[in-house]
Amino acid sequence: MRFAAIVTLLLSLSSPAEAVGATRYSKVGMSFAGTICVDAATGTVLSQEKADFPGHPASVTKLMTTLLILEDIKANKLSMRSRVAVTKAAADIGGSQVWLAPGESFTVEEMLYALLLKSANDVAVALAIDRDGSVPAFVARMNRRAAELGMTRTTFVTPSGLTYGKGPHDTTTARDLAKLAVTLSQFPEVFRFTSTKQYLLRRPGKPLELLNHNHLLGSFPGCDGLKTGWTNAANASIVTSVKSGNLRVIAVVLGCQSPGGAKAEQRLRDDVAAGLMSQGLLKLKQLEAEKALQLARLPKVSPSPKGAVKPKKEEGFWEWLGDLFSF
């Protein structure tokens, strides 16, 4: 009965949003490069489909840019209050941006909000140039770090994920993005940015309200990140995170494509990610319940009472002989 009670207690904490993710667009004709869901604490795979197939991450690329910035902060190479100057190359990048102007400067903290909420390409370039002197040098560091993390099927060509036409494009897999996200989740401060729904970027005379592109923050309880991405070349991708109690799972949907167009791809991507998080949380809690059962079944060892006298070892011949000739 005690074992059943443990299982019942743990499984009563099951996924908080099993009903979330109802399809709002037809899945007919939908395809994706790959999906995966993992335990954020250990990287244990909870579900996967075509997880090693290549795809283009679009703005999900910015998670590697974020990781390098947070690692530089941890290494005391800069701080959240350090100011980053805007260059013309950053201001001219195009795509999703916060319209930085050459000569402006912002703190690293402000830039991370713009990078992760608004998916600002101009901010990604500004950070890259500030950290390594040029975009190619920063991209080389992105690829070195990817290799260190075991992201063997990943090649970055930008700090932002913005590419056009036939490329070259940033290329990765769902499994590689999960490895990146697991590493990034070891920096708790990242969730302060990725869970924020809106942020006011203060600029002289023209403050700008930034709205998070991740719509699962408002619809999936416990969701607190991480990054969405979409371009014509890459279709729709997302890396999401959800926390329930002391458990956290990370879900990846790479390259979701639909004949319904961009909006349909993004909605379907979100639906698939929500389903992965729900199923992942449930499976992780089942695994935790099984561990609890195994621990409960272990025989209990009663500790020796304080002051207990250990039984005297029986004296053998050599001990008797030694006592005989001792003085």
For residue 212, give the nearest of 225, 203, 222 by alpha carbon.
Answer: 225
For the chain, the maximum distance between any two Cα atoms, rounded to a whole number of angstroms, is 100
Residue 326 in any domain: the answer is: no
222: left (phi over 0), alpha (psi -120 to 50) or beta: left
Q: Give me the chain's average pLDDT, please.
A: 87
pLDDT band at 324 (very low <50, low <70, confident <90, very high): very low
Domain containing residue 140: CATH number: 3.40.710.10
108-117 and 121-132 helices, crossing angle to 10°: 140
Sign of torsion, CA 183 130 91 147? Answer: negative
Task: Please give the pLDDT value at position 159.
Answer: 98
| Tokens of residue 217, six digits | 């923050």
Q: What's the confidence (pLDDT) of residue 250?
A: 98
Q: Would the pLDDT of 9 be above 70?
A: no
Distance separating alpha carbons of residues 7 and 256, to the nearest angstrom: 36
- From residue 184, give the alpha-carbon distance in Å to each of 62, 63, 119, 245, 288: 12, 8, 17, 19, 23
pLDDT (tens digit, 9 = 90+) per residue, 134-157?
A: 999 999 999 999 999 999 999 999
In a domain, residue 170? The reply is yes
Read off the pLDDT of residues 269-297 as tens digits, 9 standing for 90 and up.
999 999 999 999 999 999 888 888 888 77
Whether the ω angle into residue 46 lies within 30 degrees of 0, i.e. cis, is: no
Band (pLDDT 50/70/90 cuts) for residue 55 is very high
Identify the pLDDT of residue 141: 98
Residue 318 located in a structural domain:
no
pLDDT in tens, 170-179: 999 999 999 9
- Structural domain includes residue 308: no
Q: What share of the chain is helix, strand, coil (3-state, %, to 5)?
A: 40, 20, 40
pLDDT at residue 11 tops 50: no
Q: What's the rounded Cα separation, in Å, for the pair 70 and 2?
A: 45
pLDDT surpasses 50 at 2: no
Does residue 43 belong to any structural domain of this protein?
A: yes
CB atoms within 10 A of CB 268: 24
Range of the domain at 192: 18-296
Query: What pLDDT does residue 292 have?
Result: 82
Mean pLDDT for 230-238 is 94
Q: Where are the beta strands (DSSP E) in the chain?
A: 34-39, 45-49, 83-85, 105-107, 198-201, 208-211, 223-231, 235-244, 247-256
* Residues forming the active site: 59, 62, 119
Q: Is residue 267 part of a domain?
A: yes
C-alpha of 169 from chain center: 22
Cβ-based neighbours of 224, under 8 Å, separated by 6 or more: 191, 194, 195, 217, 241, 242, 243
Q: Which residue has the tokens 């991708």?
A: 237
pLDDT for residue 29: 82
Question: What is the tally of structural domains in the chain?
Answer: 1
Q: Which of 268, 247, 248 is nearest to 259 (CA)?
A: 268
Residue 306: inside a domain: no
248 lies in some domain? yes
Give the single-character DSSP code of 77: S
Greatest mean pLDDT among 212-221, 290-299, 316-325 lies in 212-221
Q: Residue 17: pLDDT band by 50, 70, 90 thresholds? A: very low
Tell me the whole-structure pTM to 2 decimals. 0.83
Amino acid, res. 110: E
- With pLDDT > 70 as the criterion, what percentage of the chain qualifies? 83
Strands 83-85 and 45-49: unpaired
Smallest CA-to-CA distance from 224 within 191, 189, 200 is with: 191
Query: Are 62 and 115 a contacting pair, CB within 8 Å?
Result: yes
